[in-house]
Chain A
Amino acid sequence: MSSSKLMLASEAVKRFVNSGDCLSIGGFTINRNPMALIYEILRQQVKDLHVVMHSGSQALDLLIGAGRVSLLEIAYGANGRLASTCIRFRKAIEQGTLKVEDYTNYQLTLRFMAGAMGVPFLPTYSSLGTDIIERWGFSPDMRSSNPQLPGKKLAVTEDPFSDKASQVVLVPAVNPDVALIHAQKAAEDGTVRLEGLTFADIEQARASKHVIVSCEELVSPAELRKESWNNSIPHVLIDAVVHQPLGAHPTACYLHYDYDMAHLLKYKELADDDDQFETYLKEFVLDIDCHDDYLKLIGTKQLKSIKASPELGYARRDSNL
């Protein structure tokens, strides 16, 4: 049995996340964002981040709003129907303070997969004939001076196996410095079990140099090994395990709690104003010591209202509307 990787969020971020890093954030829009880890990154003043992810929402929006993201490779930024475009993401791009390069969700999944497989690129037919191919967000100078950026956004080439003039799109591998994942279950040796949709978390974790996992439930390695076929990421790939119940709040965690609609709607309103966003950031993140104190601020009544029904895996709407 390997030694314990269990540590506090503050220690995990201190050891494995540095300013200037290329970061990949797990989850998908309003589900399983690794919020406790993101709050800790914000508190520790980590900055100048290069974020690569597919469909971002609350975790991404806070990092951008706090001015910690310099480069972004992304497919989508929205909180589902609770913000049809992430507010601080939208403002930063409109104001020209954030450099962004647009891909599609499949292309980013393939970029992580290529990184995980150790191959330089993977092919797809997606985006032929579109501006995803034509318009690039980063200059050649930026590309040549940053080893984490691919030399080209993507390449269109002829299928070498076809006798027809058939084109394919090649998307470059990405190997982030750190992936941040929030899971339902993990063991102290690093074994991870995701329940429900895995999104692209497994590809993101396998592509990255370091992986920090926060989890709702800490279970024994022996327990997870009883059904090893249901485990999502093997322990050898994980650097740090953080036990943090409600670690994805205000986004959802299937079988544990729903997204906090009231909180996200309040955030949407506040984030639209620069000063009110700063106040939100101070009140809910920067002036707080740890995630458990944040949860006290949210309050037990609110947290109880989003608790998942054991039968459904989410909170029934008619019981909390």
Chain B
Amino acid sequence: MKIEYSPLEMMAIACSRRIQDDDIVFCGTGLPLLGAMTAKKTHAPNCVVFFETGALDPALFEIPLSVADSRVMHGASHDGGLADAFAFMQNRFSGPKVLGLLSGAQIDMYGNLNSTAIGDSSKPTTRLPGSGGACDVASLVGRTMVFMKHERRRFVEHLDYLTSPGWLQGGTSRQEASLIRGGPVAVVTTLGVMEFDGSTKRMYLSTHYDNMSVEEIARNTGFKLDVSRAKQESSPTPEELDVLRTEVDPLGLILN
């Protein structure tokens, strides 16, 4: 019997599968958090979730709607502040252990992100919220995973504003800019999961879901996307879907 699921559910589960038991996961709100909570309740019970506001390993009985939601404070191992959280990411011992989950309005072929403005940033057609801690996380932690709605207007040749660094201009440009570590390892979208080539650092399609052909995915991407290495992402298992729907987001606050 075929199991029905939505692209958002598939994204949360694709994220969850890429979280390891010994990861310290930096989370924003929304889908990335669903991914981390699902991982914690399935194969990675020991992964530690933390937030830029300073909350580390909270109970998360209910889904927080902001990283400053009181739901991230309850039952935490530590409630500190921004200075602690960002120093933890920049620190040479703890920083490399952190997996950062990010999202943006625009992404380019090297995984750089824009969450500041669409159009000319001095008088934008659409002003977005701004970096918040996203640029800090993208600059400082061991590896990042990015969440995107897969649309041509979001996967662009040139960002209107480079808020958060990915692989910059590709190749070794990230190290040459003196960024001390890190870079994006995966982009989880509504259509599939992209990864980055080991030497050029260009994005390629790694896995696709069963909702669209790889050719169509390439057409929904605003730059040339290599789809030759793509495999199919396995569908969500009944267990994964059950945890996500009944334990992680039972009220459908993010999924609906």
Q: Residues of A with Cβ closer than 8 Å to B?
A: 27-32, 54-55, 74-82, 84-86, 89-90, 93-94, 96, 102-107, 109, 113, 124-132, 134-135, 137, 165-168, 196-203, 252, 254-255, 258-259, 308, 312-314, 316-318, 321
Contact = CB atoms under 8 A, between A and B. Distances in A.
Interface string B120-157: 01111111111111111001100000000000000000
A317 B251 contact: yes
B247 interface: no
A96 B132 contact: no
Interface in B80-127: 80-83, 86, 90, 112, 116-117, 121-127
B81 to A, nearest CB: 4
Nearest to A86: B129
Given A55-B132, A106-B82, A197-B53, A94 B124 contact: yes
A252 B168 CA distance: 38
A203 B15 CA distance: 35
Contacts of B30: 81
By secondary structure, the B interface counts as loop
Contacts of A104: 131-136
B128 A85 contact: yes
26 contacts: A27-B68, A30-B68, A78-B66, A80-B29, A85-B127, A102-B130, A105-B52, A105-B131, A124-B90, A125-B180, A127-B136, A127-B165, A128-B177, A130-B163, A131-B116, A131-B121, A165-B178, A197-B80, A198-B81, A199-B53, A203-B83, A312-B61, A314-B70, A314-B74, A318-B251, A321-B251
B68 to A, nearest CB: 4
Contacts of A130: 112, 135, 139, 162-165
Contacts, number: 206
Given A81-B29, A313-B73, A199 B68 contact: yes
A161 to B, nearest CB: 14
B223 interface: no
9 closest pairs, A vs B, by CB?
A80-B66, A76-B132, A129-B177, A28-B68, A106-B86, A167-B178, A314-B70, A31-B68, A106-B136
By secondary structure, the A interface counts as loop
Interface string B228-251: 000000000000000000000001
B122 A129 contact: no
Contacts of A107: 136
Contacts of B80: 197-198
Contacts of B121: 131, 135
A83 to B, nearest CB: 9
A159 to B, nearest CB: 8
A301 to B, nearest CB: 21
